Structure 1
Amino acid sequence: MDFTFNLYSIVLILFGTATLLLSYYIYRKEGGAVRFFGIMMFSSAIWSFAYGFELASTTIEQAKLWISIEYIGISLLPLSWLLFCLKLSGKDHWYQNKINMFILIATAVIPILMVWTNDYHHLHFKSYHMDTTGDFPMVALEMGPSFWIFTLYFYLLLATGSYLLIITFRKSDPIYKSQNYSIIIAAFIPWITNITYFLGFRPFGQLDITPFAFIITVFLISIAIYRFKLFDILPVAREKVLELMQDGFVILDSKNRVIDYNSSFRRYLSDIKKSKIIGTQIEALFPDHKKLAALIKERQSGKIELKIENHNGSFELEAEIRTLNENQLKLNSEAVIIKLQDLTTLRKEALRSKSQTTELQQLNQLKDRVFSIIAHDLRGPLVNLGEILKMTSDDVITIEEFKTLSPTLSRDILYTTELLDNILHWSRSQLKGYGIDRDFFDLKNILVNEINYHLPAAEAKNIRIIQDVFPGEMVYADRLMIQIVVRNILNNAIKFCNENCEIHITAVYKNGFIELRIEDNGVGMSEIALQKIHNGDNISTRGTMNEKGTGLGLVICKEFMEKNDGKLIVRSELGKGSSFCIYLPVDLK
């Protein structure tokens, strides 16, 4: 090949070679947006390097070869610029879509193919010829329709990337101004030079100075990367971090005007447009909080609690104020940072945690009581029964003596059976994932069955059970649970009744519930015992005929009623008897 090198070609070749080597170094060493910048440098290097040899060519055939190579860089340059800007502005999800990426690559490859096959269709360049009127030969081109379509595509990608940069840096803090200016200025240099070239302003004849402009662009962005630490302090990264924070953040300037904030901060404002927040005085945003305004005005760091109500709800906030001076920020004025932490959720969680702790303590006490009963009360009757049976088998006691002991054994067995029932039902209700099987059923059927079950114990003490519940009183609850509740309360009433007492059972409709009332005129309960029942504590007291109690019955009844959206109310007076009011829902809630 025959070359006649001139100053412009030498400059382009030298800078193109240096840029090519630097692009390889950056691509290998860095990642993220810097890697796309490396590809952009590579594209600019190809364009500059090939254009330098085109300017040094003496024949049209040789120049056409270098133009074909140039278009590799020319076509890749706007694509790499767009990818660089997308990554820098945090919009990289767009090109991660395979279809979008395929379209971008295809639009970059088509112009290259159009140039390489131009001799067959002349759609990109209508004609070539060497212009020798200048200081050195240069190719003069007559543009075809494909060229203008590509030019429009070229400008579109440059414009899109520049727009992304502008909106990304628009709200950036002053700390980013050095890198912002260098990037924005660098983006517009090729625009201006290329537009002036097509408008006919050509001080160097046919010489296209756009590659020189891209060399300047690459140089300025390189300064932003390594001098101003462009990718060490990314505004988009800072914005993502702020937006992910649950606490509200707002930054004020020296005149107490809002210069930055995150989305969480907007929740605590009244109905105000997003565009009106920046530049607004903090006193205007929180007009009812004079103490906050005073602390900010006096530049006092500290914490203060705020109560705010707006269309988003009611909030209890803790505002932490931090004042930063120009030495800390490297700015020419001081600023105030306010962090707003929502105490509403924290306090709700604290109350929930306290409630759970109390409930856990109660369950733990009940568990200890259950184990104590199992270890003592449950084991004792079984041991006694075993010993008496062994003595009977060994003829240590006679049949007549066994018959004398049998009433006591019968009471022990009945107590043990009831105790086991209560323990098993309570344990089952505490299992994780255990649900209740609610359905409609006739209350009278359960009452009749339970009264028949307790008649032998009632007749032994000559107690009358008077039941006055009409058939068809339908309730909506877990049938087994209500059966256990009624059984325990009836058993409790019989246990604490003297001979010749009466137990009355009635049911009436009240405010969406059936009130089942079981009343007796037995010994009643003291105020202390009644208070323990209301608090959910388990108590154990022997009956009028020394019947033992488990201490679990009423605890289970209260818990089962709550699970069925009902309630249990106990009223009692010592020496006058007790009244148990069971409220059962009659429909779905």
Structure 2
Amino acid sequence: MEFSFNGYGLVLLFFGILTSIMAIYIYKRGTTVVRWFGLMMASNAIWSIAYGLELSSYTQEQALFFINIEYLGIATLPLNWFLFCLNFCNKECWYKKPHNLISILIVPIATLALVWTNPLHHLHYQEVKMFYQGPFPMIKITPGIWYRIFTIYFYALLASGCYLIFNKFKSSDPIYKKQNYSIIIAAIIPWAANLSYLVGIRPFGFVDITPFAFILTTFLVFLGIYRFRLFDIVPIAREKVLDLMTDGFLVVDEKYRVIDYNSSLNRFIEPQKKHKIIGSAIEIIFPNHPEIIQQIQSATSGKMELQTSVRNKMVYFEAEILVQQENKLNEAFTIIKLQDLTGAKKDALLAKEQTNELEKVNQLKDRIFSIISHDLRGPLVNLSEVLKMFSQNLISDEEFKALSPVLSKDIVYTTDLLENILHWSRSQLQGFGIKKEFFNVRNIILNEINYHITSASLKKINILHDVFPNQVAYADVLMFQIVIRNLLNNAIKFCNEGCEILITAVYQNDGMLKVCIKDNGIGIAKHYLEKLFRDENVSSRGTKNEKGTGLGLMICKDFMTRNGGNISVSSELNVGTTFCVTVPTRS
């Protein structure tokens, strides 16, 4: 390649290289805004360096080669400027929509393709000639139709970017105004230079002064970086700050209409109300909270705790109302701040439940220790004393035989009591798990009938069952067995001689199996029925003075609840009692 360097070309080369260095420096600043500005400066550098080499070229072929390179910068410069302005003004969500991004990419891509293939169609340049009559050889270009389309695109993006910056300038804090001054002035200079070139105001003949204008832009930006600390403080949009807040905010005018809000408000209102919030009356946003409207109408600030249902979930929140009577607009308005208290409320309720549960456990523990210290110790002491007296020949064989039935009852009672305490204690151990499995209900009931046949025979009680073979339940087998054992034991205890106990099992429509133990014994008084499953110490003696532990029904209730079932009772004095348990039949 042959070059004939001149003053214009050398100036463009020098400042083009300087601009490229600045572009690299600015790009490395790191933030998105800065990088877009760096890309814009890189486009300017490509344009300036290639144009400088074009002005220094002697042949038309060489000049056209550098024009093709120039358009890498010319085609991307307005695009990078516009994207920079969007980011600087916190409007980057616009180009993140695919159809918007495609709409602004089509023209630069098409321009590059048409410039590089211009000899085939002459859509961008109608005619290109080398002009040798000036101080140095220059290209004389006759624009084509696509050149004019690209010019409109160029100015549309340039004007749109300036409009965004200008709006930002009007509403920005004073700390940012020096930045905005620098950017606006830097943008206007090349725009004015290029416009003068297009309308025919050309003080340097066919030389396009737009790249020279960008040199001045580079100088202003360079000044802004070191004098005004441009990009050291990047303004953050008010919308971004509000949207990052977890608390909901809305502003209401003097007519109680919403004039502003942040996205966190959506957590406190139903989805169907989100479509049109601005302009809606406050009654529409909070239809179930007239206290908010009353507070605003009274023109007094204050706080209140409220609750509402959002997406079928209860939300607790605190509404803080701040009434502003004087402001820059000389109009009254009200700010409503909504703070989510749902988590705190749930924690408080959970803590309360845990406290109540702990109190119940402590009460139950005290009751069990009382039972152990009295009811368990008493029969064992009696048995020990009788055996001691018998071994020392202090009582005869006849007297020992006479005491044997009483001692036997005490031993049975003590055994039942120990069994229930052990089962309850085991269920309360940390890490105790429920081992659910499918099992044959009829087999469990037959085993329990055989277990109790001796005690039932002593009272001449007949135990019947109406349980079909292969009736299956899904629960913890041991827990179910303990429940049936306790209920059958109670039925025997409160039956007179010659009574009858019937055990039935029936499938229900809700996927549960209902097992009932019905007796025609003495029944249970109404005031006792209300206390049976309330963790209260309810214990009474049987028809033959059998003692009760007061723990059996409590354990039955606990075990059935753990297995997803339930227990119920119905009774009538001197008629009989029916205990029913429901247990799942599927997993």
TM-score past 0.5 threshold? yes
Q: Which amino acid aligns with 2:319?
A: A
The residue that corresponds to 2:269 in the other structure is 268
Q: Indicate the residue corresponding to 1:202 in structure 2.
A: 200
Q: Is the 8 A contact 1:82 1:158 kept in 2?
A: no
Instruction: Answer with 419-428 or 174-183: which moved more.
Output: 174-183
Question: Which one of 334, 337, 340 corresponds to residue 335 of structure 2?
Answer: 337
Contact between 2:79 and 2:157, CA under 8 Å: does it hold in 1?
no
Counterparts of 1:91-130 in structure 2 under 5 Å?
Answer: 91=93, 111=112, 129-130=129-130
> Whole-Å Cα distance in 1 between the matches of residues 186 and 373 of structure 2?
85
TM-score (norm 1): 0.66
Q: In structure 2, how many angstroms separate the alpha carbons of the residues matched to 1:287 and 1:567?
A: 40
SS at match of 1:260: strand
Question: Does 1:231 pair with 2:229?
Answer: no
Structure 2 CA distance for aligned equivalents of residues 56 and 256 of structure 1: 70
Q: Distance in 1 between matches of 2:453 and 2:54?
A: 116
Structure 1 unaligned regions, length at least 5: none
The 5 A counterparts of 1:133-532 are: 138-141=138-141, 151=150, 155=153, 174=171, 200-204=198-202, 206-211=206-211, 231-235=234-238, 237-238=240-241, 240-242=243-245, 245=246, 247-252=247-252, 257-266=257-266, 268=269, 271=272, 274=275, 276-282=276-282, 285-286=285-286, 291-293=291-293, 295-296=295-296, 299-304=299-304, 318-323=318-323, 336-341=334-339, 347=345, 350-363=348-361, 365-366=363-364, 408=407, 412=411, 415-416=414-415, 419-420=418-419, 423-424=422-423, 427-428=426-427, 434-435=433-434, 437=436, 446-460=444-458, 462-467=459-464, 469=466, 471=468, 476=473, 478=475, 480=477, 481-495=479-493, 500=497, 502=499, 504-505=501-502, 507=504, 514=514, 516-519=516-519, 521=521, 527=527, 532=531
What's the counterpart of residue 32 of structure 1?
Answer: 32
Q: For residues 380 and 91 of structure 1, do their structure 2 counterparts lie closer, same or farther at Cα, with a shift above 3 Å needed?
A: farther
Alignment CA distance shift 1:546-1:190 (3 Å) = farther
| Deviation, structure 1 residue 524 | 5.7
Aligned residues: 562
Determine the C-alpha separation between the residues in 1 that align with 2:434 and 2:170.
56
- Structure 1 residues 93, 124: closer, same or farther in 2, change over 3 A? closer
Aligned-partner Cα distance in 2 for 1:283–1:183: 47
CA shift in 2, pair 1:82/1:171, >3 Å: closer
Structure 1 residues 523 and 334 mapped into 2: Cα distance closer, same or farther (>3 Å)? Answer: closer
CA displacement at 1:488 relative to structure 2: 0.7
Distance across 1 between alignment mates of 2:312 and 2:159: 37
Deviations 1:340-375 (A, max 9, x none): 345677656644553344334434554676788889
Say which SS state the counterpart of residue 320 (structure 2) adopts.
strand
Q: Percent identity?
A: 38
* TM-score (norm. length: structure 2): 0.66
SS at match of 2:139: strand
- More off after superposition, 482-491 vs 26-35: 26-35
User: Partner of 1:319: helix, strand, or coil?
Assistant: strand
Change in 2 beyond 3 A, CA 1:542/1:308: closer
With over 3 angstroms needed to count, the CA separation of the structure-2 counterparts of 1:307 and 1:143, relative to structure 1, is same
Alignment of 1:49-68 (within 5 A): 50-51=50-51, 54=54, 67=67
- 2:190 and 2:217 in contact (8 A); partners too: no
Alignment root-mean-square deviation, CA: 6.4
What letter matches 1:559 in structure 2?
A: D
CA deviations on 1:363-398 (whole Å, 9 max, x unpaired) are: 455467678888998899999999999999x99999
Alignment match of 1:582 (pick from 557, 572, 580):
580
Q: Using the alignment, how far apart are the partners of 1:289 and 1:217 within structure 2?
A: 57
Give the C-alpha shift of residue 208 in structure 1.
Answer: 3.5
Q: Aligned residue for 2:532?
A: 533
| Residue number among 3, 6, 21 corresponding to 1:4 in the alignment | 6
Q: How has the CA–CA distance of structure 1 residues 46 and 454 changed in structure 2, closer, same or farther, with 3 Å as cutoff?
A: same
Q: Which runs of 5+ in 2 are unaligned?
A: none
CA separation in 2, counterparts of 1:455 and 1:183? 102
Distance 1:502 1:141 in 2: 120
- Report the Cα offset of residue 554 of structure 1: 1.3
TM-superposed deviation, 1:454: 0.9
For the residues of structure 2 that align with 1:109 and 1:349, how far apart are their CA atoms? 61
1:433 shift after superposition: 8.5
Contact 1:171–1:260 (8 Å) recurs in 2: no
The 3-state SS of whatever aligns with 1:457 is: helix
Alpha-carbon distance, 1:558 to partner:
0.8
Q: 1:230-280 deviations in whole A, cap 9, x for unaligned?
A: 7341456436515xx3x5322345775534323443462684573x43344
Amino acid at match of 1:419: L
SS in 2 for 1:534: coil
Residues 64 and 373 of structure 1: CA distance in aligned 2, closer, same or farther (over 3 Å) = farther
